[in-house]
Structure 1
């Protein structure tokens, strides 16, 4: 479970779309406050998904080969196949000229509540669902499990936290550095999406199939 959560957490945190939008938020008026609202909503989503899973399982790992355990693996398998299909389809289409979404231009003027809503909307929900399907094996009677779940949530938020702290304590340097980072992300967005979709998708497929046949 721990290795799966590390892989999923890394895939979440490096996603290009929410990182680009977050950089734009930070660069606008009251950017640090809006960034904090975004992060709090983002964290709340991750915590609520994990809490919901733990509530359903009662804090005990599902019995191997039971119907609920098989269903959880089937969900991960479906998500994995979906990611592989999407990544391969995007790879075959090749790289195309990309324009930033029109709503990116309005990020400078959004409110704190809108920034929080953006933190919810930009969650990569398919990957978050894979994290939830992995957390069904959590044994909440173990301190190590608590640490693993906390580590997963923090890892999935780490890119946002680093940028928020950078903009808070080094605002001048952050304005330049994050601007360069945004340009780099936008220039490599298609490659990043393909790599993430195929890499994580294949990982989920492999882990799920192993769990189903073992």
Structure 2
């Protein structure tokens, strides 16, 4: 369980789209506070998912051959296959000629959102901007990967203290890039904002490749691991 959680958390923390959105949030007025709200909302989502799973299982992993014990690996298998197909779909869009590729890149990078009433644009407006930052954090969560983490938490045994350390490590690692960026903003706001915007520009040109690699790698791992659990 621990290895799966750490791999999923690593994929979440280096997934490019949340960091791109965060860079825009902290570059606006009251960026430090908006960034803090963004990170707290992000963490709240992870904690809520883990708490819901533990409440569902009562903190005990289901017996291996019971229907609930089979449902967890089966759900993980479905998520893994879904991530593989999603990665292949994004790869196909990258290689598509003409307008289809351009439109796909725009949607992935959020360029259209800057011109319309998207979450990123809403983060720069009025008194509701802090709420908009929180909402944006929820929207840009890679929910497929978070769902994979939830299926892994089904195996958690709340009676063991090491389990809570693993779950805490999952939340911390999954948020590590955002936490590091927020701390950078706090201690060096002007320099951090400029560098984060440059990072966002770089990610805009490389986000598609990163998404494809992450989805394929994690999807193949989850597929193989769940097949092993179901057949062993």
Q: TM-score of the superposition, structure 2-length normalised?
A: 0.88
Q: Which residue of 2 aligns with 1:84?
A: 84
Alpha-carbon shift at residue 199 of structure 1 (Å)? 0.7
Residue 46 of structure 2 corresponds to 46
Matching of residue 68 in structure 1 with residue 79 in structure 2: no
* 2:118 is aligned with 1:107: no
Please state how far the C-alpha of 1:93 moved relative to its aligned partner: 2.8
Structure-2 separation of matches of 1:205 and 1:136: 17
**Residue in structure 1 matching 2:204, options 172, 186, 190:** 186
1:67-98 Cα shifts (integer Å, max 9, x gaps):
10111111110111111111112212325343
Q: More deviation in 6-15 or 95-104?
A: 95-104
Contact 2:122 2:129 in 1 (8 A): no
Give the secondary-structure state (helix, strand or coil) at the position aligned to 2:172.
helix
State the 4+ residue runs in structure 1 displaced beyond 4 angstroms.
none
Render the CA deviation track for 1:119-156: whole Å, top value 9, x for unaligned.
11211111111101000111111111110000001111
Q: Which residue of 2 aligns with 1:173?
A: 191
Alpha carbons of structure 1 residues 54 and 106: separation in structure 2 relative to 1, 3 Å: closer
SS at 1:4's partner residue? helix
The unaligned stretches of length 5 or more in structure 1 are none
Q: 1:12-161 alignment to 2 at 5 Å?
A: 12-95=12-95, 96-97=101-102, 98-99=105-106, 100-102=111-113, 103=118, 104-109=120-125, 111-161=129-179
1:106 deviates by 4.5
Q: TM-score, normalised by structure 1?
A: 0.95
CA RMSD, Structure 1 to Structure 2 (Å): 1.3
Deviation at 1:37, TM superposition (A): 0.9
Post-superposition shift, 1:107? 3.5
The corresponding residue for 2:98 is none
SS of aligned partner of 2:175: helix
Q: What are the ranges of 5 or more consecutive residues in structure 2 without an aligned counterpart? A: 96-100
2 CA distance for matches of 1:2 and 1:101?
39
Aligned length: 214
